Amino acid sequence: MAEIEIVPPPNNHDRIKSYLATHATSDVLTTANQLQRTDAPLASTVVLIPVAAEQEAQWIPRAMHAYAQQQGNEQFSICLLANHRSEGYDAAKVDKTLGAIHVAQSTHEHTLDIRYAQATFDQPRIGAIRKLLWDSAIHLASVEAGYGSAGNTIGLNHDIDTVSMGRHYIRNVQQTYQALGAHDKYHLGQIPLPPRTSLTSHALPRANHPNTARAIMLQDLSVRQVRDYSGYEAGGIAPFAFYARSGGFNAEDITHETRKVFAGATVPCVPGSYIVTSPRRYIDRFPTHGFYIWDDGNFSDKDACRTDGIKPDCEEYKLNGFVERYFYTLTTPYLERAKSLAKHKLLGQKVTSLDSLHDWRSLYIDRAEALAKRSFLLTDFPDLANQVNFQSSI
């Protein structure tokens, strides 16, 4: 009788090693070398931020200031990828962005570990940009700490237009994963630590764009109430071993790039992980696109929302029309789930029928009132009361 060979399940060491064997391209090695520091290893918590090098110099100081305000956390690293087209780019604008990074490094020399790399793309896509950044950080972590430790490194998928975040954002993420890492199911590394997401919301430009602000508030609240997770692309959190098991980002993706990484996973929010991002895309597109602003046709490395002047607010009659269509179309897939919530009396009052626009509005009103009674809205949108004068910094 032939002997049966027992093959042990892969662990984090094997996952990272196998992933890099396929994905550690020459571009990844070059980028990883740029991110490496001779005086300090990469931390086990890494914030990964792409920067459109021709357009986003102005966002760097505010974002880095938000990270510098963190309290009670262990060391973390910030990896920026300044990216632009291989040909036909504006060298002066790129130099301005690189200069802004250098200023941030100098300003926060004693408080933040800010690293950056510069990369070019024939046709920049967010999937390819994030993939290069994440793969390079994984390679660097494996070189410095070994495959196993690299697998437990926590990656935070952020954007450069961060407006603010809770003072204990990083601490809360780290403590969440420290608790998970101590769990029997994960501590041997045979099961990757699971993904999480942040309590991400948009700053509300109520001073000069009150109608757009109302739409943003509805969108943020809706995302919290009807999705299995409450995050956006900016705010996703994935241990490197989990990311590697997913196969990483799809380089062809133009939008919603984290869907591939998080596909099939339950992605709850880290408690207290409040992060507020810019409403620039809503201000630029909502008056003409309504809530349909996230389709592939609206994203490029020449994004108008990063460079154009501030556009007028959406007119109220358009807002009402957009909201009506939003309730009927975007929320339709969640109808059965909402009915289930109502059936189990998880709303302020039992809702027996949710087939009409009026019933949908009632659902949100009931839900909002119930949440407000336990201060959910105030804690979930911590900067809401401070957004009146935000317009000057958009």
Q: Do 265 and 374 have their domain in common?
A: no
Q: Do 266 and 315 have their domain in common?
A: no
Both structure tokens of 138: 């994984």
pLDDT reported for residue 243: 96
Are the C-beta atoms of residues 52 and 161 closer than 8 Å to each other? no
pLDDT reported for residue 38: 92
Domain boundary among 214, 243, 278: 278
- For the chain, how many residues are written? 394
Q: Do 259 and 344 have their domain in common?
A: no
Both structure tokens of 297: 């046709």
Q: Do 236 and 363 have their domain in common?
A: no
Both structure tokens of 204: 């509300």
Are the C-beta atoms of residues 81 and 28 closer than 8 Å to each other? no
Q: Do 263 and 136 have their domain in common?
A: yes
pLDDT reported for residue 132: 98
Residue 3 inside a domain? The answer is no
pLDDT reported for residue 378: 33
Q: Do 194 and 242 have their domain in common?
A: yes
Query: Per residue in 213-222, pLDDT tens?
Result: 888 887 787 6
pLDDT reported for residue 370: 47
Q: What is the pLDDT along the chain (394 residues), one digit of tens a residue?
A: 566 665 566 788 999 999 999 999 999 999 999 999 999 999 999 999 999 999 999 999 999 999 999 999 999 999 999 999 999 999 999 999 999 999 999 999 999 999 999 999 998 899 999 999 999 999 999 999 998 889 999 999 999 999 999 999 999 999 999 999 877 666 666 788 999 999 888 888 888 888 888 888 877 876 666 554 556 788 999 999 999 999 999 999 887 788 889 888 888 889 889 999 988 888 888 888 887 776 656 566 566 666 555 788 888 878 777 776 666 554 454 455 545 544 444 433 433 344 444 554 555 545 544 444 433 333 343 333 333 222 323 3
Q: Do 99 and 82 have their domain in common?
A: yes
Q: Which of 175, 144, 158, 149 is nearest to 241 (CA)?
A: 149
Residue 212 inside a domain? The answer is no
pLDDT reported for residue 207: 85
pLDDT reported for residue 3: 65
Give CA–CA dist 245/242, Å, rounded. 5
How many structural domains comprise the chain?
Answer: 2
Domain boundary among 219, 243, 278: 278
Q: Do 258 and 323 have their domain in common?
A: no
Give CA–CA dist 243/258, Å, rounded. 10
pLDDT reported for residue 239: 95
pLDDT reported for residue 196: 93
Q: How many CB atoms lie within 10 A of CB 328?
A: 12
Range of the domain at 342: 285-393
- Residue with structure tokens 């986003």? 56
Q: Give the torsion sign (CA, 219, 124, 84, 237).
A: positive
User: Which run of H or E residues covers position 117?
Assistant: strand 113-121
Residue 7 inside a domain? The answer is no
What CATH number is associated with residue 182? 3.90.550
Q: Do 348 and 332 have their domain in common?
A: yes
Q: Do 62 and 185 have their domain in common?
A: yes
